[in-house]
Structure 1
């Protein structure tokens, strides 16, 4: 289009627009922020990616590369649960009041079982559970994450680092501020001064310029 004779008069402007689009496209392409924020959204997870993104390389099946990418991010944040201390025979036993016969053996068995569970725990269980559960519709990702912070502790940690990033996604920016509500749903409940005081709007239009002068003459 920029090289077409039909658009020769505005070819320079078209080229600058293409360059600007390319600049932001490269920023998006070279960062995992947008992808991670999409996966962290319980409205989408990996469903949109698997449906509309093609495989990056031939050896990757659709969805496999995206799963690999999100696991790399998850592994950076994952912290293994602390190992429970084993019962040392040399350590003094704490005498509990009301302990019945055989209860100490039962406690030792439970402790050993918990230690084995921690050792055999799949580090990706939390991520797998989140991605395999059905999608959930929510208008506020932050509130949803807060309600599920104990269920998904590692993902909640990732959310705290990724979603507040400016420009990561317009919905996440609105979720971290009241503008997403006050500028739409509740705007009618605020007078003009209160609304502009809370959220400064765009500067006043210049009504003295040539175009405004032309409109006044025309009217």
Structure 2
């Protein structure tokens, strides 16, 4: 709809005004600089929520360890535009909805970052404090509850896996472990992992393995993209034999229902009026074969609809694009 110099294409405006006139609607007025500013900011806002949806709907990596980080991104962005007079009504409404869902942090999300050796319990406290300061939500009582539940859950695993052989292991290679996200690097030096775990040591002195993990210092480099959390726990499972079972059980839990909803959608396309005689076994075979084939091609949970993108691109009447001119 825009020309290379950034102005509105008059052909596009004329075309849409003709369509609106046919439907009895008023003609389109030229967008002002304020309109473009609001549109630009809303694209930025929606991009954060879109990225969160795509990230938390993944199937090839743990998502329970990613949830709180996406919430941090959202809270930081909303806080950035809270003082903007033009965006204030929309941002306030978004914050209200945000607090409705995240004023109480799910225990799964908390465990997901606690079992990350780059973050652990001290990092969780700092992240929740960051979110609370941005949106005036206070998690102090929840942090205490999360800490108590953590040791309670670990004690259950400890009783179950108490007979696991614990072989000594070398210290982690500090050069191969990445650092936490940039926000965690701003943590005050006095707020170390030992300060938070020392409080829990008196309440759960028998959980030596968990205390050892919480108090360990894992230095890391700047590379976070290639850090494989499941591989880390597999590598150090003999150092933390009980905690590794707990970590793996937590990390395999998906935080999004997208995959299961897609499975129901696929079954609805298979069981249709023309195929209503399929047996349950045959439906299961068809769904499994399709899923296995997509898994082989790494196409499970595909979020990008190329056909939709192509159709949307054809709506533009930009000079030189040639898409609509060719059709004419």
Q: What TM-score do the two structures reach when normalised by structure 1?
A: 0.49
Greater C-alpha radius of gyration: 1
Higher relative contact order (CA 8 A, sep 6+): 2
Q: What TM-score do the two structures reach when normalised by structure 2?
A: 0.34
